[in-house]
Amino acid sequence: MSEISSRIESALQARIVSRQPLSGGCVAKVSRLTLSNGQCVVAKEGGQGLDLEGWMLTYLKDKLPVPEMLLAEPDLLVMTWLESGPGGFDGKAEIHCAELIASLHGYTAPAFGLDRDTVIGGLSQPNGWHAKWLDFFRDQRLLHMAGEALREKSLPKAVHDRIEKLAARLERWIDEPLRPSLVHGDLWGGNILAGGGRVAGFVDPAMYYADPEIELAFGTLFGTLGDYFFKRYNVLRPMAAGFFDVRRDLYNLYPLLVHVRLFKGGYLGQLEKSLDRFGV
């Protein structure tokens, strides 16, 4: 028996009967475990900072459906298994998702950021508090991730300079939001467990308090959120004009930079096309 398995069995006071590998582990090995007491759990093993992920899920547990934390250590995370049912993320599930995310965005804070830095795709995501959203988005999202990508030689210097030029002009396209909203932070299809016309839960958060439009934008980057979601969300939290025409592409520069940093050139062309739109 491995040392990791021994730790799980000791913490949960049950033997591991079977182990089924799961897809989607970006920074850790993910498995579904069946225990001798009949319980099914999910274990993430390896990587770093899994206790931080556990902290985020615990923070969200009374605000959003998420797995219950059973064990959270730097290299090991064990949580309850969420049964999502058939059908996947269909129109009805999109509507339910809109209701859940609109409710999450109703949680506010005195400033933009979070008490702790978090991670996205295993990359550091600084969350130092800022009174102004434009300052936070410029310094802690665009310039931070562009700098990381440049240091890792994933981002050419010329493109980095274009990001800097755009970051100095954000007030041309973005107004300060009325208040900070709590966001999941990594809202794409792989992190939404859905079936039977409902969302069973959300996983892998990268949360902080932000302009909620950055969350909505990210949800469109890979086609996760569609018309059913936005029609319902807009009823619950009316969206300002210009999101789809302008601000969506601007906010998606951040997740594109994340993907450039992680996967190098594959997303660089998409990033440059977005920069072209804004004349930098």
Residues designated as active site: 186
Question: Which backbone phi and psi does 143 adopt, to 5 degrees?
Answer: -70, -35
Q: What span, in angstroms and rounded, lies between the C-alpha atoms of 61 and 107?
A: 13
Element holding 119 (H helix, E strand): strand 118-120
Residues 6 or more apart in contact with residue 167 via CB below 8 angstroms: 138, 142, 143
> What residues pair up with 184 in beta bridges, in sequence order?
none
One-letter-per-residue 3-state SS of 154-182: CCCHHHHHHHHHHHCCHHHCCCCCCCCEE
Q: What span, in angstroms and rounded, lies between the C-alpha atoms of 138 and 127?
A: 12
CA angle 266, 89, 198 (to 5 degrees): 145
Q: What span, in angstroms and rounded, lies between the C-alpha atoms of 27 and 125?
A: 15
In single-letter form, the type of residue at position 96 comes to H
**How many CA atoms are closer than 13 Å to the CA of 270, on its beta-carbon side?**
18
Name the token pair of 32.
Answer: 């579904």
Q: What span, in angstroms and rounded, lies between the C-alpha atoms of 108 and 104?
A: 9
